[in-house]
Amino acid sequence: MQLPLLLCVFGLAVAAPADGPNSPYDTIVIGLGSAGTTAATELARSGHKVLALEAQARVGGRVHTVPFGDGLVELGAEWIHGNVSSRTYALATKHNIDTKPQALMLDPYCSDGTRPDVALVRELLDLDFTDEHPNPPEALGTFVTKKFMEYITKNKPGLLKDQDFITEFLAFSNLLTNNLEASNDWNDVSTWDLYEKLGGPQTISWHRHGYTTFFDIMLNKYNNGPGLPNLDMQLNTEVTRITTPQHPNETVTVECKDGNTYTAKYVVVTVSLGVLKATHATLFSPPLPLEKQTAIEKVSIGVVGKVILSFEKAWWPKDIALFGFIWKGDDKKKVPAEDYWTTRILGGHPPMGSSNTLTLWTSGEVAKQVEKLPEDIVKTKCVALLQRFMGDALNITVPAPTGFLRSAWYLNPYTRGSYTYDNLDAPQYPLARKWLSYPLLDSAGEPRVLFAGEATNERHFSTVHGASETGRREAERLLLMIRGEAGNYNVKDF
383: left (phi over 0), alpha (psi -120 to 50) or beta: alpha
Q: Does 392 share its domain with 358?
A: yes
Nearest to 412 by CA among 57, 30, 37: 57
User: What pLDDT sits at residue 463?
Assistant: 98
Mark which of 406, 423, 441 sits at the end of a domain.
406
Task: Give the single-character DSSP code of 157.
Answer: G
Count helices and strands in the chain by DSSP H and E runs: 15, 23
Question: Could you list the pLDDT tens digit for every one of the 494 residues in the chain?
Answer: 333 333 333 333 333 344 444 679 999 999 999 999 999 999 999 999 999 999 999 999 999 999 999 999 999 999 999 999 999 999 999 999 999 999 999 999 999 999 999 999 999 999 988 778 899 999 999 999 999 999 999 999 999 999 999 999 999 999 999 999 999 999 999 999 899 999 999 999 999 999 999 999 999 999 999 999 999 999 999 999 999 999 999 999 999 999 999 999 999 999 999 999 999 999 999 999 999 999 999 999 999 999 999 999 999 999 899 999 999 999 999 999 999 999 999 999 999 999 999 999 999 999 999 999 999 999 999 999 999 999 999 999 999 999 999 999 999 999 999 999 999 999 999 999 999 999 999 999 999 999 999 999 999 999 999 999 999 999 999 999 888 765 555 544 44
CATH number at residue 368: 3.90.660
Mark which of 360, 386, 406 sits at the end of a domain.
406
For residues 351 and 77, what is the distance between their CA atoms, to the nearest angstrom?
12
Task: Give the single-character DSSP code of 202.
Answer: S
User: What pLDDT sits at residue 22?
Assistant: 62
For residues 38 and 17, what is the distance between their CA atoms, to the nearest angstrom?
23
Q: Does 316 share its domain with 401?
A: yes
Half-sphere exposure of 1 (CA within 13 A, CB side): 5
For residues 354 and 70, what is the distance between their CA atoms, to the nearest angstrom?
5
Number of domains in the chain: 3
For residues 253 and 273, what is the distance between their CA atoms, to the nearest angstrom?
21
Q: Does 58 share its domain with 72?
A: no
Give residue 163's domain range. 118-188
Is residue 317 a part of any domain in this protein?
yes
> Which helix (DSSP H) or strand (DSSP E) does residue 39 occupy?
helix 34-45
Is residue 94 a part of any domain in this protein?
yes
Q: Does 350 share its domain with 267?
A: no
Q: Does 341 share its domain with 465?
A: no
Is residue 201 a part of any domain in this protein?
no
For residues 448 and 305, what is the distance between their CA atoms, to the nearest angstrom?
36
CA angle 25, 28, 33 (to 5 degrees): 140
Is residue 348 a part of any domain in this protein?
yes
Is residue 193 a part of any domain in this protein?
no
CB-based contact 420:462 (threshold 8 Å): yes
Mark which of 172, 188, 204 sits at the end of a domain.
188
Q: Does 387 share its domain with 313?
A: yes
Q: Does 345 share its domain with 316?
A: yes
Is residue 435 a part of any domain in this protein?
yes
Nearest to 456 by CA among 346, 242, 296: 296
User: What pLDDT sits at residue 1?
Assistant: 33
Q: Does 239 share its domain with 374?
A: no
| Mode of pairing for the β-strands spanning 322-326 and 106-110 | parallel
Which of 340-377 are b and which e, b meaning 16 or more Cβ less than 10 Å from the residue's Cβ?
ebbbbbbbbbbbbbbebbbbbbbbbbbbbbbbeeeeee
**What one-character-per-residue DSSP string does 77-99 give?**
--EE--SSS-HHHHHHHHTT---
Is residue 458 a part of any domain in this protein?
yes
Q: Does 174 share its domain with 217?
A: no
Is residue 196 a part of any domain in this protein?
no
CB-based contact 7:443 (threshold 8 Å): no
Q: Does 53 share its domain with 69?
A: no
Q: Does 337 share its domain with 469?
A: no
User: What pLDDT sits at residue 6?
Assistant: 32
Instruction: Evaluate if pTM is beyond 0.85.
Output: yes
Q: Does 275 share its domain with 421?
A: yes
CB-based contact 244:284 (threshold 8 Å): yes
CATH number at residue 50: 3.50.50.60
For residues 433 and 2, what is the distance between their CA atoms, to the nearest angstrom?
43
